[in-house]
Chain A
């Protein structure tokens, strides 16, 4: 069973700080990685995707991928209370039939 592991949290950070969210995956052949944000009671929405080793930046968000370590992370700079949500890591399986989701990390940003 291919797995995606995340710490459930909550991860608490003060407003303006950097939030670091981490994810590990078991399928070494995985090529595509995604971060979704889900507000309570709402549907997931895509924040970023990353395919290559290294960093990918989009505004306040940076995704980091290390395929050798099977590790992907999301950094949120200048965290805002509106960033408080659950962040889901997802990995596209090698057969491309589905995204395998982690259970999510709950982020709380306090004013």
Chain B
């Protein structure tokens, strides 16, 4: 089954404790991206990657890191989480085609930073 898998789905952590949210897709997509979703603010892009070893900042990259060492994986790293990073996070992917911009989303990771 074609899918984007995120882990963990739910996490409660404390300020300053490094954490990683993993994302893996099995569709051989070139493009991957991380979004956060907050009430009243909608989906905002954190980072994206056009292909292996190619990453770039989105609209809200502060406090986050990413890496793209393999095509299928795109982990999101919070080096020192803070309460304002409490949010619902979505990983998404798409093939690198110009005829559509459809994104395939993971199920989401709800993060709470105390």
Give the B-binding residues of A (Cβ under 8 A): 8, 32, 34, 41-46, 49, 88, 90, 92, 96-99, 101-104
Q: In the complex where A43-B108, A103-B42 touch, is A98 in contact with B102 (Cβ < 8 A)? A: no
Minimum CB–CB distance from A4 to chain B (whole Å) comes to 8
Q: In the complex where A49-B100, A96-B98, A96-B101 touch, is A44 in contact with B48 (Cβ < 8 A)? A: no
- B108 near A42 with CB under 8 A, answer yes
Assembled-state Cα–Cα distance A88/B105 (Å): 14
B13 at the A interface (CB under 8 A) = no
B106 at the A interface (CB under 8 A) = yes
Chain A residues with CB under 8 Å of B56's CB are 97
Minimum CB–CB distance from A15 to chain B (whole Å) comes to 27
Top-9 shortest CB links A-B? A103-B42, A43-B105, A92-B101, A101-B43, A46-B102, A101-B42, A98-B45, A32-B101, A43-B108
- B40 near A98 with CB under 8 A, answer no
Q: What are 29 A-B contacts with C-beta separation under 8 Å?
A: A8-B40, A32-B100, A32-B101, A34-B102, A41-B108, A42-B108, A43-B90, A43-B105, A43-B108, A44-B43, A44-B103, A45-B105, A46-B103, A49-B101, A49-B102, A88-B42, A88-B43, A92-B101, A96-B98, A97-B56, A98-B33, A98-B45, A98-B58, A99-B103, A101-B42, A101-B43, A101-B44, A103-B41, A103-B42
Chain A residues with CB under 8 Å of B35's CB are 101
Supplied contacts A43-B105, A99-B103, A103-B41, 7 more A-B pairs, CB within 8 Å: A32-B100, A34-B101, A42-B108, A44-B103, A97-B48, A101-B43, A104-B42
User: Could you count the A-B residue pairs with CB atoms below 8 Å apart for me: how many are there?
Assistant: 47
Which residue of chain B lies nearest to A104 when distances are taken between CB atoms in the complex? Answer: B42
Assembled-state Cα–Cα distance A34/B106 (Å): 18
B30 at the A interface (CB under 8 A) = no
Chain A residues with CB under 8 Å of B98's CB are 96
Chain B 80-114: CB-based contact to A (< 8 A → 1; otherwise 0) = 00000000001000000010111101111000000
